[in-house]
Amino acid sequence: MTQFGKHLEKGLRDLGREACWRAIKDAGIRSDQIQAGFCGNALGGYLQRENGIGQSVLWQVGIKGIPIINIENACASGSSAFREAWIGVASGLYDVVIAFGVEKTVMKKGAMLDVGDADLEVKIGDVFPGLFAMRAQRHMYEYGTTLEQMAKISVKNHRNGCLNPYSQYQKEFTTDEVLNSPMIADPLTLFSCCPNSDGAAAAIVATKEVAKKLSAKPVKVLASVLGTGLYNNKKDMAIFDLDFKLSKEAYEMAGVGPEDIDLAEVHDAFTIAELMHYEGLGFCKVGEGGRLIDDDKTEIGGKIPVSPSGGLLSKGHPVGASGVAQIAEIVWHLRGEAGLRQVANARIGLAHIMGGGKEGDVGACTIHILEKVNEF
């Protein structure tokens, strides 16, 4: 992946090219060995008026004349591209493919991403900070979750981000600094929300036979699931129904349970989101997410490290790239290549991201479970 942040001097093609070249070099292959490409991007057509991004990026790394597919699925665009790459290889259609995500969110300082304004909810003010603020208020009411517990998630993730050279923000904050930062949507303050970011991430997906020849440290995809919300506006806003449904599917596909996960990267666009994902992914019971962070169980040295990369809160959130960047982070930990933030003896990792919304529900969500492979 590239470093996430504000890259005013680089465009979508520059960022995408950098990430794809790194993935190709890491795999030890030639560009002309890649049989298909899948590009995740959410905002290029809206913010940069640029289409066909996959073709433009891959042409610059010598990839042409093959199927190239561009995928828009909100924050899950990159992870959806990775899933399509996995399907292409798992089905036997291809032997080696590339999946990448890339995004530039060029906006005025302090501005909020205003996409989705064709929906009635957005027109009347139901934008993401407001929606997650309502989720936070409901979770606090239902389960006694506190402002301090949510703030601790930001503190943890910014501390982790300081250990990650790819992170947009590499500065620690105290709980008081998070709580006293400018209010965005009560109870979510500025440091409770992820930043707008630029960046790209890429991955090579191959068959077992090809992987034997390419990598000394292969990682296996145990599960790949994708789902969409039911748009039931009478649902309980203190839980993500889709987390429960898709994690069950992913665990069954992988043949593991939440107790087997050694680390996880989740969609922590807001602090309350990470806390709710603890519960939806089965890392604790519903209503006990606050206790999990209080007991330091989601720290890098804890029982289930969550967002060791710094998460979206600190690493940044270039929308179309975030899902593939999560995959990269999990792979580095399983290979033992995560440096100062390395989770010890990591064998199985989970990457979770969701995006978009309608009727108070989730537009798209993916979960991938990856396993370290010692030998085939």
Reply yes or no on whether 317 is catalytic.
yes
* Structure confidence at residue 114 (pLDDT): 58
End-to-end CA separation in angstroms for the chain: 27
The answer to whether 209 touches 338, Cβ cutoff 8 Å, is: no
Q: In what order do the strands lie in the sheet with 199-206?
A: 68-71, 37-40, 96-103, 199-206
Q: From residue 343, how far is each of 273, 306, 321, 337 by CA, in Å?
A: 22, 10, 23, 10
Reply yes or no on whether 284 is catalytic.
no
Helix H or strand E segment including 100 = strand 96-103
Annotated active-site residue in 75, 194, 284, 365: 75
CB atoms within 10 A of CB 112: 15
Q: Which residues neighbour 183 within 8 Å (Cβ) at sequence distance 6 or greater?
A: 189, 190
Distance CA(118)–CA(240), nearest Å, equals 24
* Structure confidence at residue 217 (pLDDT): 86
Distance CA(39)–CA(71), nearest Å, equals 6
* Structure confidence at residue 110 (pLDDT): 59
The answer to whether 238 touches 139, Cβ cutoff 8 Å, is: yes
State the architecture of 12-107+198-214 in CATH terms. 3-Layer(aba) Sandwich (3.40)
Annotated active-site residue in 277, 317, 333, 352: 317
The sign of the dihedral angle between the CA atoms of 220, 222, 226, 229 is negative
Q: From residue 150, how far is each of 204, 290, 298 by CA, in Å?
A: 36, 7, 13
* Structure confidence at residue 119 (pLDDT): 65
Note down pLDDT in tens along the chain; length 376 residues: 999 999 989 999 999 999 999 999 999 999 999 999 999 999 877 666 778 899 999 999 999 999 999 999 999 999 999 999 999 999 999 999 999 999 998 666 656 665 555 566 666 666 888 889 999 999 999 999 999 999 999 999 999 999 999 999 999 999 999 999 999 999 999 999 999 999 999 999 999 999 988 877 889 999 999 999 888 766 788 999 999 999 999 999 999 999 999 999 999 999 999 999 999 999 999 999 999 999 999 999 999 999 999 999 999 999 999 999 999 999 999 999 999 999 999 999 999 999 887 777 888 999 999 999 987 6
- Report whether the peptide linkage leading into residue 218 is cis, meaning its omega lies within 30 degrees of zero: no
Where are the chain's structural domains? 12-107+198-214, 120-191+219-372
Q: Which CATH class is domain 120-191+219-372?
A: alpha beta
Q: Which amino acid is at 93?
A: L
The SS3 of residue 142 is helix
Distance CA(216)–CA(257), nearest Å, equals 27
The SS3 of residue 82 is helix
